[in-house]
Amino acid sequence: MGRLPRRAFATAALAALSGLGTAGDVAASPDPAARRGRAAPRAVRGMWLATASHRDWPSRTGLSPARQRAELLAHLDTAVRLRLNTVFFQVRPAADALWPSPYEPWSEYLTGVQGRNPGWDPLGTAVREAHVRGLELHAWFNPYRVSGQPDPGRLAASHPARVHPDWTVRYGGKLYYDPGLPAVRTFVRTAMLDAVRRYPVDGVHWDDYFYPYPVPGEVFDDDAAYAEHGTGFSSRAAWRRANIDKLVRETAAAIKKIRPGVRFGISPFGVWRNASTDPLGSPTRAGVETYDDLYADTRKWVKEGWIDYICPQLYWNIGFAAADYAKLLPWWARVVRGTGVQLYAGEALYKAGEPAQPAAWQDPAELSRHLTLAAKYPEVKGHVFFAAREAAADRTGAMARIVADHYRQPARPPR
């Protein structure tokens, strides 16, 4: 599949942006720096485009290929309108695929039936159309989540988890691959990298799901895998962290061999460890710590340079007692300092104006204040907003405020 030369990205983006300014749009004028011959600054301005459970796209089951495609392109157009430059597109929401994968079935979110061919190629279309618009497209994968229900028998007949039920663990009413099995690690890496081989994606992206979030009263049953593969580790927790470390390290190396220049990044839950647990931790009192509860040593991945960027989900307001954005952001800036790993802040756009959220989120300027604060830390190379549905609706004007305050000029993604 074709791809625009990188120089053409900026040209396409500026051409698209120059038409802004009609009623309801934001930031009307073309980039003054571009008019004076200066290159646009480099910063990630991203949004997540989630497909699991029809979160953002497609809006419902049963849409025609033409309607699905139109909705997908509308999200890309929203990104351009808001002067964003990167879309993180969820293409493997649950051990399935939004491209013609030889390893896993078509996602049920396309047709309502797992394994049924939707009649078009969403990932291929997204990459091509994003590049035409001057956007980067990062393929977002979930490594270990298999299904939102626990029965392998309800999966497509050809599904690897149905063929290999011994690869799976039932937990919290859902089904997961067991990260402790080398065969699983090899398979999920191969399945994800198929998309990197096929398409000129700009990045490979994982979110916060490694070992599953704790479910009170339940135990993740990996006894058999630990008995066979856990020899030599000080604890089961240390073994589990080593399993996730291996997948991160091996995937990073494979990406560089398959398609050099593709960036590999992860968007974990925003708290590695609380300072009360570890003096290296953040000044937080979070109920979940990725190191201890998800067995994801996110700080180590940065310090070892295994990833190109980290985008912690800093989904709390400034002043929130248990996890203050204004304290977490500088903590992460210190973590990446001197490593060469880029830091992007994951922003909770979905909370803006949500009645159940604290008072700070009822103020349309809350997120704009996040970007103002981040400008004080040179380690912060951009922001990513969750998620596309809210970016399009912008019910409180929070995104419009961000564009007016911070995105009046285009920016190119950092390299």
CA distance 381 to 378: 7
- Whether 174 contacts 231, CB under 8 Å: no
CA angle 77–80–86, rounded 5-degree value:
105
CA 223 from chain centre, in angstroms, equals 30
- Provide the residue range defining the domain that includes 191: 6-144+178-406
Question: What is the DSSP track for 72-127?
Answer: HHHHHHHHHHTT--EEEEEEESSS-BSS--SSSPBPHHHHSSTT---SS-HHHHHH
Question: What pLDDT is stored for residue 8 in this prediction?
Answer: 40
- Encoding tokens for residue 206? 């994982």
Q: Report long-range pairs for 235-241 (Cβ below 8 Å, ≥24 apart).
A: 237/292, 237/295, 239/180, 240/179, 240/180, 240/211, 240/295, 241/291, 241/295, 241/296, 241/297
Q: Is the residue at 363 inside a domain?
A: yes
Q: Is the residue at 166 inside a domain?
A: no
Q: Is the residue at 46 inside a domain?
A: yes
- Whether 404 contacts 410, CB under 8 Å: no
Burial of 231 (0-12, 13-18, 19+ CB in 10 A): exposed
Map tokens 């004007």 to a residue.
397
Q: Is the residue at 157 inside a domain?
A: no
Q: Is the residue at 133 inside a domain?
A: yes
The CATH number covering residue 343 comes to 3.20.20.80
Q: Is the residue at 154 inside a domain?
A: no
Q: Is the residue at 193 inside a domain?
A: yes
Give me the number of domains the chain comprises: 1
Question: Going residue by residue through the chain (415 aa), what tens digit of pLDDT does each one get?
Answer: 333 333 343 334 433 333 333 223 333 333 444 444 567 889 999 999 999 999 999 999 989 999 999 999 999 999 999 999 999 999 999 999 999 999 999 999 999 999 999 999 999 999 999 999 999 999 999 999 999 999 999 999 999 999 999 999 999 999 999 999 999 999 999 999 999 999 999 999 999 999 999 999 999 999 999 999 999 999 999 999 999 999 999 999 999 999 999 999 999 999 999 999 999 999 999 999 999 999 999 999 999 999 999 999 999 999 999 999 999 999 999 999 999 999 999 999 999 999 999 999 999 999 999 999 999 999 999 999 999 999 999 999 999 999 999 999 999 998 8
Q: Is the residue at 158 inside a domain?
A: no
